[in-house]
Amino acid sequence: MMIDKDYNLMVGLRIREIRESMHLSREKFSERCDISTSFLADVERGKKSLTSKTIYKICTACNISADYIVLGHKEGFDKDVGIEILNSFNQDQLEHITNILYEIKNLSSK
């Protein structure tokens, strides 16, 4: 069915966008989400569809909302990816990042 194929392709593109925004290879992303690399490649190409269990694994492992994967709603995606990126820094790096963000905020409010 054409609708299923188009839907699988759109979901696959969103999964790939998530993976790339996290700067992860297919291998690292697959490992993190407890799915096989070949399955991830097929999903990203729209050749395979995701089960609810696999969506849950991806959402849990990447701290993202299923709304973006399933429906394409970006409201939570950017925020979730930002949180994921921030969580990857150590405490010293976070202090520097916080200082930079305060400077940006102060510049934009002038």
pLDDT tens digits for 60-88?
898 888 888 888 877 655 556 666 677 77
CA angle (81 as vertex; 76, 82 as ends), nearest 5: 100
State the pLDDT at residue 78. Answer: 57
pLDDT digits (tens, 9 = 90+) for 10-27: 999 999 999 998 889 999
Q: Which helix (H) or strand (E) holds 29?
A: helix 26-33
Q: What is the pTM of this model?
A: 0.65
pLDDT tens-digit series, residues 37-56: 999 999 999 999 999 999 99
* Number of structural domains the chain divides into: 1
Instruction: Residue 102: give its domain's CATH number.
Output: 1.10.260.40
Give me the phi and psi of 100, to 5 degrees please: -60, -45
List the alpha helices (DSSP H) in the chain: 2-21, 26-33, 37-44, 52-62, 66-71, 75-87, 91-108
